[in-house]
Amino acid sequence: MPFQEKSAWIMSVALLLGGAFYVSVVSEMSSPQEGLAPPVIPVVAIYTVILVVVAVAGHIVAAVAGPKEANAPEDERDSKIRHMAGYFSRYLVGGGAILALGVYLLSYDGNLLFHAVFASLMISQISEYAIQIYLYRSAV
């Protein structure tokens, strides 16, 4: 397994863990209220710390397990896979942002707008890494 694929797995796990944390906290904060909880800086900061810690620890383990792979330059196949995955995922973030703005125009709920755009960013990144993994597995 190339290091870039390992990296995609690591980042997928980091994003899924961070996203699960964020969704659970926002859901818990929203339940006593009538509407969606407002964005809170400490929750976003903890989400970011989860991403950084899991990503750094995972990449350190992957680099120690295969130092030659970790230091190898990106080849043509890796570059093609990265570009293809980025191409598809950028449509998700754009579509998610447009959808969030449309929902805002109907509801005028700024909290929903923030969480929807934040979710589209998370979904876009998760899908980019999932597409990379799929392309590595399908031997493009």
What tens digit of pLDDT does each residue of 1-44 get? 889 999 999 999 999 999 999 999 999 999 887 889 999 999 99
Closest-CA residue to 42 (of 33, 30, 50, 31) = 50
Nearest residue to 18 (alpha-carbon basis) of 132, 122, 120, 89: 122
Q: What separation in angstroms does the CA of 92 have from each of 41, 75, 86?
A: 25, 27, 10
Burial of 16 (0-12, 13-18, 19+ CB in 10 A): middle
The pTM score is 0.89
- With CA atoms as reference, report the closest residue to 130 among 60, 138, 70, 119: 138
Q: Model confidence over 81-133: pLDDT tens digits?
A: 999 999 999 999 999 999 999 999 999 999 999 999 999 999 999 999 999 99
